[in-house]
Amino acid sequence: NAGVTQTPKFQVLKTGQSMTLQCAQDMNHEYMSWYRQDPGMGLRLIHYSVGAGITDQGEVPNGYNVSRSTTEDFPLRLLSAAPSQTSVYFCASSSHPGLAYEQYFGPGTRLTVT
Amino acid sequence: GDSVTQMEGPVTLSEEAFLTINCTYTATGYPSLFWYVQYPGEGLQLLLKATKADDKGSNKGFEATYRKETTSFHLEKGSVQVSDSAVYFCALSEIRGKLIFGQGTTLQVKP
């Protein structure tokens, strides 16, 4: 199993450009989520999904869009990139959204917006 | 809302020293508590967890006890190694598995 994979690993965008961060998992997990990691702030939840066709907003959803057409994939779209979106982005998945279930994280995408 | 507060880092220790990283939380319900570790250049990995009061999570020599009376989940290890150098995150889980993270504590272990 590859686990949770993310592409690209690094990306530089200009302000106003759009792009999609890819996330895939091969563990047949129903629950997937996107976090951003900023220095001194830990990880903050952007969007999450409890299954194909179902998504919801997390703590910091503005400027991001998601969809979940398959169990395996959960792409994150930046509609019009801003310097404030410079961050490291992590995708995670879990077999169940319940309280005690471990989340498995991908290796991250480091995004710089100039 | 729910929140997690960790001790500020970085924490620098010599090999074989005792480690404590403090973590306290605020929650209205009965969350599960986690410690995740991030090694340089990698994603987060679950280190240990506890799901109810007085539970002790343990893994790789690390331990943490869920203390409801003090709303704490401090991470401890009796003898750290250079390979333990990483960033450690305390987190709690709300409904639907949403993790709320502390700000992270960087540990550097010197030989």
- Answer for the pair B32, B99: CB distance below 8 angstroms, yes or no: no
Provide the pLDDT for residue B111.
Answer: 95
Per the prediction, chain B carries an average pLDDT of 93
Q: Are strands B23-26 and B3-6 parallel, antiparallel or unpaired?
A: antiparallel
Closest CA–CA distance from residue B52 to any residue of chain A (Å):
10
User: Looking at the partner chain, which of B43, B93, B96 has a beta carbon nearest the beta carbon of A105?
Assistant: B43
pLDDT-derived band of residue B97, with 50, 70 and 90 as boundaries? low
Res A41: pLDDT: 85
For B43-88, the pLDDT digits (tens) are 899 999 999 999 999 999 999 999 999 999 999 999 999 999 999 9
Whether the CB of A50 is below 8 Å from some CB of chain B: the reply is yes
Q: What is the pLDDT of residues A88-110, one digit of tens each?
A: 999 999 987 776 788 999 999 99
Question: For A50, which residue in chain B has the nearest alpha carbon?
Answer: B96
A32-50 pLDDT, tens digit each: 999 999 988 889 999 999 9
* pLDDT at residue A47, as a whole number: 96
Which residue in chain B has the smallest CA separation from A40?
B103
Q: Quote the strand ranges of chain B, DSSP E.
A: 3-6, 11-14, 19-21, 23-26, 32-38, 44-50, 56-59, 62-65, 75-77, 86-93, 99-101, 105-110
Cis peptide before A75 (omega within 30 of 0): no
Report the gap between the CA of B27 and the closest CA in chain A (Å). 13
- Give the strand pairing for A31-37 and A43-51: antiparallel
A27 has a chain B CB within 8 A of its CB? no
Mean pLDDT of B87-97: 85
Q: B98 pLDDT exceeds 90?
A: no
Per-residue pLDDT averaged across A19-29, rounded?
Answer: 96
Average pLDDT in chain A = 93
- Do the chains contact at A96 and B97, CB–CB below 8 Å? yes
Taking the Cβ of residue B71 and every Cβ of chain A, the question of whether any pair is shorter than 8 Å is answered with no
B42 touches chain A (CB under 8 A): yes
Residue of A nearest to B1 (CA): A59
